[in-house]
Amino acid sequence: MTDRLFTILIWSVAIILAILSLWILGELIWQGYPHLSWSFLTTEPSNAGRDGGIASIIAATLLILAITLLTTISIGIGTAVWLTEYSQHTSRVAHTIRLSLDILAGVPSIVFGLFGYAFFSIYLGLGFSILSGGLTLTCMILPIFTRTCESGLSQVNTDWRQGAAALGITRFSALSHILLPAIAPAITAALLLGIGRATAETAALIFTSGYVDRMPESIMDSGRTLAVHIYDLSMNVTGGDKAAYATALVLIVMMIIINTAAILISDRWKNKRIITNP
């Protein structure tokens, strides 16, 4: 009886979540699809976003996301490798870094926005720019990404490291051909969490990348992301609801495409490079 009740509970929760997800997606399609068109995707906003399209918004979003992912992957994986493979488990420095990452993972996004504005925009002189927004988002998602990758590396069997050392494989080769491919699912999970938080962020980007909705010419230009555009249309623009729904639908589709691509690339990398027994 207990097992049946537990099974019913699990299935009920899963069904409720599926219904809520379909409800939200259906609402976005119902309200946003009639406003979608090729011109909506290829033209710039006009009349405060009520008319025109979101071409410049998509470009700014992709640029900010690219900067965020490039810096996060390089710094995050490097830090995780150092914490797992090169530092002593009893090291005070490593313990301090882990504690700092855990604390930063729970900091509200508005705090990161104020930090990004004070450090990147003012102190480093980047101003309201795509680069400033991307680096701020890196600070936001780096703690979760690093800790997830570190957890994945910690779960890799020690025999793999000992076997690589016994065969005379260098530590770098062992990392690039054995350990990192083995934690491809963990890296993918960390990326998906980071991408989800980065693309949905508004508070931190308002203080760093700005509100400008024109087409960016470089990463030093100000740019408005899809999430910020949705917020502005919904809260500050009268009659902007239709464009907001259509923009939200585009954001959901973009998230699905990026997440699917990340999973496919991760699986291909793991299957291609990992060393397995025949």
3-class SS at 222?
coil
DSSP label at residue 177: I
**2-11, 61-70, 267-276 — which is least confidently predicted?**
267-276
Q: What is the mean pLDDT of residues 217-243?
A: 88
End-to-end CA distance of the chain: 45
**Residue 138: predicted pLDDT:** 93
**Residue 270: predicted pLDDT:** 63
Q: What is the mean pLDDT of residues 145-164?
A: 84
- Of residues 127 and 162, more confidence is placed in 127
Q: What is the mean pLDDT of residues 128-144?
A: 92
Angle between helices 109-116 and 130-155 (to 10 degrees): 130
CATH architecture group of domain 36-273: Orthogonal Bundle (1.10)
**Residue 178: predicted pLDDT:** 81
What integer best gives the mean pLDDT of the chain?
A: 86
Between the CA of residue 217 and those of 58, 153, 159, 214, 223, what are the distances in Å?
A: 13, 40, 51, 9, 10
Answer yes or no: are the C-beta atoms of 212 and 224 closer than 8 Å. Answer: yes
Q: What's the pLDDT band for 273 if we cut at 50, 70, 90?
A: low
Q: What is the mean pLDDT of residues 34-42?
A: 89
**Does 274 have pLDDT greater than 70?**
no
**14-18, 42-46, 174-178 — which is least confidently predicted?**
174-178
